[in-house]
Structure 1
């Protein structure tokens, strides 16, 4: 297990668009080890996802996983470990949902971000197998958050109302119950 240092907001690598990964690079032992390290780092930090730029790497790969009980996101539906290489997201429809997001690269700060409720997600997995799937609800939001990172965009850029910024403690005290109620209704209506 190798836990990599997570870079923090202000580091220029977080603003770079990650480069595509070639088939040869994806198949290499070094890249496969990097994927394992990315997974270990995400799990160690208690995240729901982690993009390569968050550990200072500019290759287009991210990992996503939510196992319950999850200490940071007990309201999120489970997502099995998913490695996304060269992902492309396309919104399906115009419906959006305000998700209160945080980020491992922005410690102890949260804010409301409008995300598409449904997206078409296309990517290669770690074995180079192509996936073309529809993701909905909070899971779609997680995919959008990680692909934003790979495009050099942070959740901070997408917060339209700065009054929604809060620390974890203040979110828990004043906003969590309302958000969880809305999130649960979304999951019930559209799925994960």
Structure 2
């Protein structure tokens, strides 16, 4: 049965490892991992979560954009498990946007990301998918993909001036939208 799994925090060495490819996408281990990630991202008010964040160093993440207290203006989409994902193309345009991370609680950062990306991944049914993602959903994908490469969002900041606490973010940014 799926359960809420503790999210590891910045400083845990697993967050800095390159995650392993998944060979058998239909295995019970992978199916259970997907279910645990779905429960964990929903109960944590996240819009995405990667397997390394629950101490499972596999190339798997969930993109689950939806409005919630951490991201009140997020677009609604069906949570999607993405196995062995790749970015196969991207726009030249990059946009800075505010990001937080369940593994870096209490901090937000203004992170530059591609505005549009073309991605490829295997879905939970073992089917290869290709999609074009834009704006906030493209940002989620790139953020979660970084987790598979051992990168966290603070590594992408252009300056420490581009950081603020979650409390300041909620007061200054969310409440002034």
Question: With structure 1 as the length reference, what TM-score do the two structures score?
Answer: 0.87
What SS does the corresponding residue of 2:79 show, helix, strand or coil?
A: strand
Moved more, 133-142 or 26-35: 26-35
CA contact (8 A) 1:116 1:141 kept: yes
The whole-number CA distance in structure 2 between the counterparts of 1:91 and 1:172 is 33
> For each residue in 1:38-95, what CA deviation from the matched residue of structure 2 results, as whole angstroms up to 9, or x when unmatched?
1111111110010000000111100111233x22111111121110000001342210
The whole-number CA distance in structure 2 between the counterparts of 1:2 and 1:8 is 19
Alignment length (residue pairs) = 176
Q: Which runs of 4+ in 1 moved over 4 A?
A: none
The whole-number CA distance in structure 1 between the counterparts of 2:11 and 2:107 is 14
- What are the ranges of 5 or more consecutive residues in structure 2 without an aligned counterpart? none
The whole-number CA distance in structure 2 between the counterparts of 1:175 and 1:2 is 32
Moved more, 148-157 or 75-84: 75-84
What SS does the corresponding residue of 1:175 show, helix, strand or coil?
A: helix
1:4 aligned onto 2:5: yes
1:92 matched residue in structure 2: 90
CA contact (8 A) 1:6 1:105 kept: yes
The within-5 A match list for 1:148-167 is: 148-167=146-165
- What are the ranges of 5 or more consecutive residues in structure 1 without an aligned counterpart? 181-192
What SS does the corresponding residue of 2:32 show, helix, strand or coil?
A: helix
CA contact (8 A) 1:79 1:139 kept: no
What SS does the corresponding residue of 1:122 show, helix, strand or coil?
A: strand
RMSD: 1.3
1:186 matched residue in structure 2: none
What SS does the corresponding residue of 2:143 show, helix, strand or coil?
A: helix
What SS does the corresponding residue of 2:7 show, helix, strand or coil?
A: coil
What SS does the corresponding residue of 1:76 show, helix, strand or coil?
A: coil
CA contact (8 A) 2:65 2:137 kept: no
Deviation of 1:177 after TM superposition, in Å, equals: 5.7
2:169 matched residue in structure 1: 171
